Structure 1
Amino acid sequence: MNFVFLLTGLALVFGIGWLISSNRRKIRYKSIGILFALQLIISFLCLHTSGGVKTLAGISSFFNWLMVQAAGGVNFVFGGLVIKPGGSVFFLNVLMPIVFISALVGILNYIKVLPFIIKWTGWALNKVAGMGELESYFAVSTAILGQPEVFLTVKDQIPKLNEQRLYTICASAMSAVSAAMLASYMKMVPGKFVVVAVFLNILSALIISCIVNPYETESNDELVQISKGNKEPFFQVLGNYIVDGFQLAITVGAMLIGFVALVTFLNNTFLALFNVSFTTLIGYVFAPVAFLMGVPSHDIIKVGSLMATKLITNEFVAMGTLHGMTTSLSAKATAIISAYLVSFANFGTVGIITGSIKSISEEQGAYVAKFSMKLLLGATLASVLTGTIVGLYF
């Protein structure tokens, strides 16, 4: 039965992708096959072998340990706050550790560890799948650095890109999540699904681009080097990353306040007028998609609601809701929706990406604005593909 739902999920993704494809005759079936095979291998090793399961458990434990270390700084600054027994402050426990993780990313970037990983992983991905050196580099780097910062590493190339290549790197930026966010995600959803989704999303975004936005890369492309950070003193660079992490936490917190309040308002309004909550209503819209992905029929409304919530608001709002309902969902539904939520595919991110590109090139920013809804749909399909593959093993 799992294999049947793998086929239905793939048919959904390919069918919608084919309908919105810019050039159906040039769909890159070979690259799609190679990338999909890589996804099956990665997901099998991670979720269906004892070594993979232990590795994922180790990675999750490591990030949990990092959260404990981050608590040292958080408690020093906010330790005087009195929290009722059994209580928890989301801002302190989930968002503030982003500052510490961001500092670690800055250190690893400064000492050239991250540039090394990004360069050679991207090189290997390009050699295997033939997606182009820029596209392969960007797909890996955005999963580590996140956006909008990752666009600065290719700021010299962005004005030279055609519309097709611009779509691919933007789709990668929406489908991946930054390393600074992983520990916070793991506070709300099982860590193993976060880690697997990070790997699969890199490939899912490229697969969708092969369908929605097919093109042949040029053979004379040069591998993009990540911008060098050693021109500035170490502590200045570290301070910048810390401040950026704090600003990111504040931004996410502000968005959560606004979006959660908006969803609460809509739920109460719809309950008063129609005797059904807004999230339940939109759950019915996404329920067929959830079913085709392999979610058990008794969970499709709840999962559909979470899928829609992520699209309309952001992944944090949906993860927070999921965290409170995991006991009422089956293991398969939890696995699928957890993997689906690990991406930046939502309306707000479209604005962030458009603004980031526009700040580098006014003309290219206009291109991104023109295909923004197609970009959002493509990134959502990438999340559907990732969730469908994870569901194969539950």
Structure 2
Amino acid sequence: MDILFGLLAIVLVLGIAFLMSNDRKNINYVGIGVMLVFQLATTAFFFNTTIGKTIITAISAGFNKLIEFGKGGVGFVLGNVATKTMEDGSPASVFFFDVLLIIIFFATILSVLTYLRILPLIIKYIGAFISWITGLPKVESFNAVNSMFFGQSEALLAIKSQFHHLSSNRLYIVSASAMGSVSASIVGAYLGMLPEQYVLVAIPLNMFSALILGSMIAPVKVKKEDDRVDIKDVSGAKSFFEAMGNGALDGGKIALIVAAMLIAFIASLNLVNAIIQSVFAGVTLQMILGYILAPIAFLMGIPGDELVQAGSLMGTKIVTNEFVAMLELQSLINDSALSEKTVGVVSVFLTSFANFSSIGIIAGTVQGIDPQKGATVSKFGLKLLIGATLGSILSATIAGLFL
């Protein structure tokens, strides 16, 4: 029965995207079918085969080793401040030290790999392969893969030399990929809060979901001369050590930005809840969102007694950001309050940038590259969020089919 409801959810998501489409005659159904097959095959491989689970474990071990190295750097700078203990002698968890500051080390690694042209080449040829098997333009495919490694702003900046070729529909697809993705620099932070297998599988799932929904809502046909990818100037660093410095500074900015946003969003959430509770005792915004999104959670395969909790986490992510929702989910996981299937489905849903604040980030980035196209992104900002959220639902539903 869960499988039938899951398939119904997939059909519903694709149906909504079809109704939202601004050019239904040119939808690339073959490419969409190929990407859905890839999603199903990828999820089945990593969740249900011994080899797939071994690969996930190995990748996770690699990330955990990098996190360990990062904590070494944090510990050296902050000393006992970062290693405080509880009254019973157990280590205390300080989110800023244990999670956010690790971003600095991951951003440094990404910057160095970019400077050495290792990462750009990998991204370019994976993007070319996706373009070949799906028939999608190279720029959109490259951007989708690029968005798996870099943040929203960085991914869009990497294709700025192609921006004058981008029509409104193409601009929608690259923006959807940026919003539906996550940055590899903060994957380490996610792994500090959620089970690694769901976070790591969510990354390729969300890449394909963004392309599927984007190419349905805004189909494109591109001339060959307007479809090329240039990776010559992806790194502004002039030396290896400058790349390290740039990465460290960028990582520090990201950590501080996330910390500032968490302070603002969590404080604002508490304020909103206090206002709601002054009128309706015991009611919170999360509870309201939980009931609103419970039907969607039901179709995604969430057990009946956990629908409101799952819907609450999903809604919290949309109106605030993924970190706020992940912190709430982490608390529920630690208390064993949710089933493994709910944890998996919700974790995949949360592993993306699809929230209201991302509209401003993407529009601002595009505005800096091309003011005219920035105005275009602002106009379809809400449609962009709906498409990216549908992508998160699609990814989470597919994950749920194999849990």
The answer, yes or no, to whether TM exceeds 0.5 is yes
Partner in structure 1 of residue 84 of structure 2: 83
Q: Residue type matched to 1:310 in 2?
A: K
TM-score, length basis structure 2: 0.95
Letter in 1 for 2:23: N
In structure 2, the partner of 1:74 is 74
Deviations 1:112-164 (A, max 9, x none): 11011101100100110111110111100111122211222111111331100
Amino acid aligned to 1:132 = P
Judge which range, 87-96 or 215-224, deviates more. 215-224
Residue 181 (structure 1) aligned with residue 186 (structure 2):
yes
Amino acid at match of 2:365: S
The CA deviation string for residues 92-122 of structure 1, in whole angstroms up to 9 with x for no partner, is 0000000001111111111111011101100
Mapped pair 1:388 → 2:386? no
Aligned match for 1:129, one of 131, 134, 140: 134
Partner of 2:275: 269
1:182-238 CA deviation, whole Å, 9 max, x = no partner?
A: 111011111111111101111100110122112223234443122243761221221
Specify the alignment match of 1:245 in structure 2.
251
Identify which of 203, 208, 215 aligns with 2:220: 215
Unaligned runs of 5+ in 1: none
Structure 1 stretch 152-161 or stretch 63-72: which is displaced more?
152-161
Q: Does 1:169 align with 2:170?
A: no
- 1:295 aligns to 2:296 (yes or no): no
- For residue 286 of structure 1, report the CA deviation from its aligned partner: 0.8
Partner of 1:43: 43
Residue 202 in structure 1 maps to residue 207 in structure 2: yes
Deviations 1:62-114 (A, max 9, x none): 11111111011111111132734142110000000000011111111111110
Letter in 2 for 1:12: L
Pick from 110, 114, 132: which aligns with 2:115? Answer: 110
Counterpart for residue 369 of structure 2: 360
Gaps of 5+ in 2: none
Match of 1:370 in 2: 379
Deviates more, 1:304-313 or 1:103-112: 103-112
Question: Per the alignment, do residues 169 and 228 of structure 1 end up closer, same or farther by CA in structure 2, a change over 3 Å counting?
Answer: closer
Q: Which amino acid in structure 2 is aligned with residue 184 of structure 1?
A: A
Does residue 23 of structure 2 align to residue 23 of structure 1? Answer: yes
Write the distance in 2 (CA, Å) between the matches of 1:266 and 1:84.
33
AA aligned to 1:249 is: A
* Identity across the alignment (%): 40
The number of aligned residues is 394
Q: Contact 2:123 / 2:145 at 8 angstroms: preserved in 1? A: yes
Q: Tell me the C-alpha RMSD between the 2 structures.
A: 1.4
Partner of 2:14: 14
Give CA-to-partner distance per residue, 1:248-305, whole Å, 9 cap, x none: 0000000001111111222233233212122111111111111111111111100100
Letter in 1 for 2:136: M
Aligned equivalent of 1:332: 341
* CA distance in structure 2 between the aligned counterparts of 1:308 and 1:128, rounded to whole angstroms: 35
Instruction: Choose 19-28 or 48-57, whichever is displaced more.
Output: 19-28
Q: Could you list the per-position Cα deviations for residues 306-343 of structure 1 after superposition, in whole angstroms to 9, with x for gaps in the alignment?
A: 11100011000000000001211111111100000000
Question: Where does structure 1 differ by over 6 angstroms across 4 or more consecutive aligned residues?
Answer: none
